[in-house]
Amino acid sequence: MNSNDPFAPVRHTLDPELAAAVADSTGEEAAQPWFREFEATVQDLVRRHLDARPGYFVLGGLGGLTEEQARRFTVAVSKLAGELLPQDGAGALLRDVRDRGVKLGEGATGRYSDSRQGGSLHTDAAHRPGRLPDIFTLFCFRQAVSGGSLVLVHVSDLLEILADHPQELAALRLPVHFDTRDDTPGVPLTTERPVFAYEGGRERMYYLRDYIEIGHRHPHVPPLTPEQVKALDLLDSLLDRRDLQTHARLEPGEMIFIDNRSIVHGRTAFQDGAAAGGGGGGRLMLRTWIGLPGSAGAETAAAR
């Protein structure tokens, strides 16, 4: 799975004029043949690469877009793959992933996506109540001076090894509490779900170890059992195995689609030339969360 450029087999380069047209499109363009053809292309890439291995693909040729065009393109192309899901209590559909000068788990709301830390492989939104994304995207508008490579591990590789550890696997199928990283009044402090679950005819994973440990520190939550701690330690040891990881670095003007059901991901720590939290420079990824029709939780979300 590893190579000098793991994205090469799944990189699809767009014509710059097409990319700009998508970014600048309005509702009227959606009915045009060129736009519908592009929509069919995106949906075909989702089926080919996300419903099977490797679980990700990259769109290239986007380096000519301005930041505002990049934001519009990211939203527009994400909508072609499925339903955009909110990423915070305010309902934001697009989030800037950049260093805001905080550490993972810091305070009541500090998130991985607000830090420059590496490691802590996870699936997106495992800590959030309600419907979770089936896909997430990252548009690389600015890359870090150093570091910031994506680290990807496929769930099927983990389960193949865990099959030889039935007690630990059983423990990972029991619900755990994730801290929601949200201090908004009325929002629960934790949400409960298993690390591994078989849903919609496929295995799915929910994970970020730090949020689980923070969740189980709340007074109303029982501590993790010794069996659960042992299972989580085993899982972390697998996630740390370099032979199971794929490392690759997005370049500015590339956008990756990742299957949040089957890819555990993280990044290497990075360094920016700009001050932490600054808006004028530094690593900037634009992220969307996407729900697929008929996915687990879609019917429940639609009924609310």
Give the confidence band of 113 by pLDDT, cuts at 50, 70, 90.
Answer: low
Q: Which two tokens stand for residue 250?
A: 């997005």
DSSP helix/strand/coil, 86: coil
- CB 148, CB 283: distance < 8 Å: yes
Residue 148: pLDDT band with limits 50, 70, 90: confident
Q: Which two tokens stand for residue 147?
A: 């570091």
In percent, how much of the chain has pLDDT > 70?
A: 88
Residue 105: pLDDT over 70: no
- Over residues 123-147, mean pLDDT: 93
Concatenated DSSP letters of 173-239: TSEEEEE-----TTS-SEEEEESEEEETTEEEE---HHHHHHHTTSTTSPPPPHHHHHHHHHHHHHH
Name the strand (E) or helix (H) holding 72: helix 67-81
Q: Is the pLDDT of residue 162 over 70?
A: yes
Determine the Cα angle at 295 with ends 9 and 183, to 5°.
Answer: 100
Q: Is the distance from CB of 70 to CB of 62 less than 8 angstroms?
A: yes
HSE-CB of 36 using CA atoms within 13 angstroms: 4
Q: Residue 278 above 60 pLDDT?
A: no
- Please give the average per-residue pLDDT across 109-127, as a whole number: 76
Is the pLDDT confidence value at 274 over 70?
no
pLDDT single digits (tens) 213-255: 999 999 999 999 999 999 999 999 999 999 999 999 999 999 9
Task: Name the least confident of 137-146, 191-200, 246-255, 277-286.
Answer: 277-286
> Which burial class, exposed, middle or buried, applies to 7 when counting CB atoms under 10 A from its CB (0-12, 13-18, 19+)?
buried
At residue 299, the pLDDT reads 40
Determine which helix (DSSP H) or strand (DSSP E) holds 171, and give its type and residue range: helix 166-172
| Band of residue 68 on the pLDDT scale cut at 50, 70, 90 | very high
Q: Which two tokens stand for residue 281?
A: 């420079």
Kindly tell me if the per-residue pLDDT of 107 is higher than 70.
no
